[in-house]
Amino acid sequence: MADGSAVPAVANAVVPDRSVLSVLIPADREALHTRLSAFASAGLLTDQADAFLDLARWVLLAPEGNGPGGTTRQARGERFRTFVELLENDPRARKGFVASFGRMLAQSSAANLFGEAGLPARRSFVSEAADRLAGKVVPSPRNDGDLAELLRRLIPSEREFRRLQRIPADLFHRCVGILSAEDHEGWRVLERDFADGYRLLALWVQSQGLGSRVRSRSGVPVVSHSPFLRLGASTGRLLEAWQRRRGLVPALASWRNDVAACRMVAADVHRHLENQGVNVEIVFALEIIERSLTRMELMAEIIARPHGPARSAAMQQLLARLVYFTFHDRRLRHLVNWNLSLLNRKIVERSGKTGEHYIAHTPKEYVRVWAASAGGGALTVFTAAIKLAIVGSGLALFQEGFAAGLNYAVSFLLLQAFDLMLATKQPAMTAATLANIIRDHRGVTWRGRL
């Protein structure tokens, strides 16, 4: 539906029961009453979006401080809790809010939010940077029908993003229960967009995984045998089983097997890079595959779980990831940092490759490293003692410098000849090993993987 499409206005604005609002101070009570009434009575999509953002910012993102309009973190939490309790206890307020929320969803699209937000366009760094810079100078036209744009307007800065992260899990689950208690067209539209976003993510993975650069470096160069090709078919079967509400378990198991196979191919490509050298374009493709698969796994958790706290937790994890990447999607600094990290990660890994023998992986290797380090330390003690003797001998400056340099040269030749180790050679390998650990073992951020 078009951005400014009209919908039937609410004849009588549904307002909350003021007895429930008595727990708030008079100023906050009147503010919540006004915002709920404005959102419930909004007719046009533009008006609904503005009223919803005003209500959400007041409930979740109240300004900090002790000045006019400022609140403490505890006060913001109480606002949200009171808002949830109000909707739970006041049928009129709940009906008005849920009905207006459903109308807004029915006129909006979330496909871009689920399937594209946070995934950089396949363009050059200069083009993407110029586009983001132009967006700061010349604001883009409003698109109230795109939920990704609505979320971006809700989180305009880092401060608001951090505040939104503090939503308690129990309150989030209660909000989900309130919004899903009534069936309306908005939920059907959101479910359709959820499936479309899932398909878009699968296409992202396929386009990168079946590209010639990745395919030629994988162990599966034949397209018909690639797990990336099978992922598209298993994704379609999974979504069909979810929408028909039958055959979900085998479809989900098949999809997860294909995801595991795709990750194995990506790991093979990464090992190929470690042996052959840096290729930023391939690292970019692997990063897109990882981001897309991780988001699809979070969405699959929602598909697999029945209604309840576990499903609400999965929804909150997905929301955390969407908020994070939607917030950074148009930031120039994030683009620069991300592109530099792609290059830096490979440079760090390659810089310590020649010193790989300084890292022990087995008990036998640990004993060898310990003995070699002890020998290197002992030799260094003798080298330092000889240096002190040379400095204190009273030789001429040229003779002293020559003797000191010869002392160190002989010491390092002995280190090399007897396969001894010196601690000053190890930091590069330490950094490379830590980089590998961070890459291969995905961490857990705020209630989910970001």
pLDDT tens digits, one per residue of 107-166:
988 988 898 887 766 555 566 666 666 666 666 677 888 888 888 888 776 666 676 777
Q: Which structure tokens are listed for 346?
A: 């490979």
Amino acid at 106: A
Task: Give 52's Cβ-side CA count (13 Å radius).
Answer: 23
Q: Which structure tokens are listed for 96?
A: 């008005």
pLDDT tens digits, one per residue of 222-239:
888 889 999 999 999 999
Q: Which structure tokens are listed for 426?
A: 């190890």
Q: For residue 450, what pLDDT is reported?
A: 42
Q: For residue 300, what pLDDT is reported?
A: 93
Name which of 134, 114, 98 is nearest 190 in CA terms.
114
Give the torsion sign (CA, 59, 65, 66, 67). negative
What 3 state SS string does the chain have? CCCCCCCCCCCCCCCCCCCHHHHCCHHHHHHHHHHHHHHHHCCCHHHHHHHHHHHHHHHHCCCECCCCCCECHHHHHHHHHHHHHHHHHCHHHHHHHHHHHHHHHHCCECHHHHHCCCCCCCCCHHHHHHHHHHHHHCCCCCCCCEHHHHHHHHCCCHHHHHHHCCCCHHHHHHHHHHHHCCCCHHHHHHHHHHHHHHHHHHHHHHHHHCCHHHHHCCCCCCHHHCHHHHHHHHHHHHHHHHHHCCCHHHHHHHHHHHHHHHHHHHHHHHHHHHHHCCCHHHHHHHHHHHHHHHHHHHHHHHHHCCCCHHHHHHHHHHHHHHHHHHHHCCCHHHHHHHHHHHHHHHHHHHHCHHHHHHCCCCHHHHHHHHHHHHHHHHHHHHHHHHHHHHHCCCCCHHHHHHHHHHHHHHHHHHHHHCCCCCHHHCHHHHHHHHHHHHHHCCCCECCECC
State the Cα–Cα distance between residues 109 and 120, nearest whole angstrom: 20
List Cβ neighbours of 116 (8 Å cut-off, separation of 6 or more): 148, 197, 200
Query: Which parts of the chain sit beneath pLDDT 50?
Result: 1-15, 18-20, 64-70, 352-354, 427, 444-450
Find the angle CA(333)-CA(335)-CA(337) to the nearest 5 degrees: 70
Burial class (CB in 10 A: 0-12, 13-18, 19+), 67: exposed
Name which of 48, 37, 151, 41 is nearest 104 in CA terms.
48
Q: What are phi and psi of 131, to 5 degrees?
A: -65, -45
State the pTM of this model.
Answer: 0.68
Q: For residue 439, what pLDDT is reported?
A: 56
64 by DSSP, 3-state: which?
strand
State the Cα–Cα distance between residues 78 and 176, nearest whole angstrom: 18
Q: For residue 84, what pLDDT is reported?
A: 86
Which letter does DSSP use for residue 263 in this model? H
State the Cα–Cα distance between residues 326 and 116, nearest whole angstrom: 9
Q: For residue 425, what pLDDT is reported?
A: 55
Name which of 1, 168, 186 is nearest 80 in CA terms.
168
Name which of 173, 120, 407, 412 is nearest 283 in CA terms.
120
State the Cα–Cα distance between residues 272 and 249, nearest whole angstrom: 35
List Cβ neighbours of 170 (8 Å cut-off, separation of 6 or more): none
Give the torsion sign (CA, 342, 343, 347, 348). negative
Q: What are phi and psi of 100, to 5 degrees?
A: -70, -40
Q: Which structure tokens are listed for 419?
A: 């396969």
